[in-house]
Amino acid sequence: MNSPSPSPLSWAPLRWANALSRIAVWAGGALTLASVLLISFDVLARKFLGFNTGGADELSSYAFAISTTWSLAFATLQRANVRVDVLYQTLPLRLCAILDWISLVALGVFMTYLTWYAMDVVTASWVQKSAANTTMATPLWIPQGLWFIGLVWMCIVLALMLVRASTAIVTGDLDTVKALCGVRSAQEEADEEAASGERLINAERQGARA
């Protein structure tokens, strides 16, 4: 019996990229939660106390943009990005691997162009000392810069994934290509849900014992 192929994320650069991406997605989630709390407080203060914090809408829009780009790399590593797989599931494994590689290249090209133009936006805001047309007058390079960092990190992660996927295709390791950038099967999603449910049950049991 052949032993199962190791996870593509066991490759050291991708393992570190996954760990850093997980931190980034948690930071993005914290920003989103903070913006929700700020908006909730602003609404309640306006209704019951007769004042508002000012800038809640502006800050929440920055938080949304930043948290979106900071979560891109982790979502891609976890294969959580949406792909149409009506025909994919019926194709031969080798053809699927080639299509997976092509999709990774296409995503990399798109993200490179997006990041390049995002750099122009941040640079222009920095050079022109642009500020938001609001009472806060936020220097735009600050939120734009944080937003840009997420795009840069996404490009780095995609480059690492492409190197690993290309090596796997050359060596004929099609299972690794599928595990790295293929469409997640229904069985994989079911297994993940089962594992998540088991962790929840174990946590509840430990809480009951405490």
HEC states along the chain? CCCCCCCHHHCHHHHHHHHHHHHHHHHHHHHHHHHHHHHHHHHHHHHHHCCCCCCHHHHHHHHHHHHHHHHHHHHHHCCCCCCCCCCHHHCCHHHHHHHHHHHHHHHHHHHHHHHHHHHHHHHHHHHHCCECCCCCCCECHHHHHHHHHHHHHHHHHHHHHHHHHHHHHHCCCHHHHHHHHCCCCHHHHHHHHHHHHHHHHHHHHHHHHC
Each residue's pLDDT tens digit, 21-54: 999 999 999 999 999 999 999 888 888 887 777 7
Q: What span, in angstroms and rounded, lies between the C-alpha atoms of 112 and 38?
A: 34
Which pLDDT does position 91 carry in this prediction? 83
Range with the lowest mean pLDDT among 13-22, 36-45, 52-61? 52-61
In the prediction, which pLDDT does 27 show?
96
CB 77 within 8 A of CB 17: yes
Determine the Cα–Cα distance for residues 51 and 3; give it in Å rounded to an integer.
65
Query: Tell me, what's the pLDDT at 87?
Result: 78
Q: What are phi and psi of 131, to 5 degrees?
A: -130, 155
Q: What is the pTM of this model?
A: 0.84
pLDDT, residue 136, reads 86
The per-residue pLDDT for 207 is: 66
Q: What angle do CA 110, 179, 16 make, to 5 degrees?
A: 75
**More confident of the two residues 83 and 109:** 109
Q: Which of the four pLDDT bands, split at 50, 70 and 90, describes residue 167? A: very high
Question: Does residue 196 register a pLDDT over 80?
Answer: no
- As a whole number, mean pLDDT of residues 72-86 equals 85
Which position has the token pair 């991406």? 21
Contacts of 197 (CB under 8 A, 6+ apart): none
What is the model's pLDDT at position 19? 95
Query: What b/e sequence results for 168-185 when a residue is b if at least 16 CB atoms lie within 10 Å of its CB, and e otherwise?
Result: bbeeebbbbbbbbbbbbe
pLDDT, tens digit, 9 for 90 and up, residues 131-156: 998 888 899 999 999 999 999 999 99
Cα 27 from Cα 50, distance rounded (Å): 32
How confident is the prediction for the chain on average, in pLDDT? 86
36 dihedral zone (left: phi>0; alpha: psi -120 to 50; beta): alpha
pLDDT for 2:
46
Q: Residue 3 above 50 pLDDT?
A: no
Q: Is the pLDDT of residue 4 over 80?
A: no
pLDDT digits (tens, 9 = 90+) for 156-165: 999 999 999 9
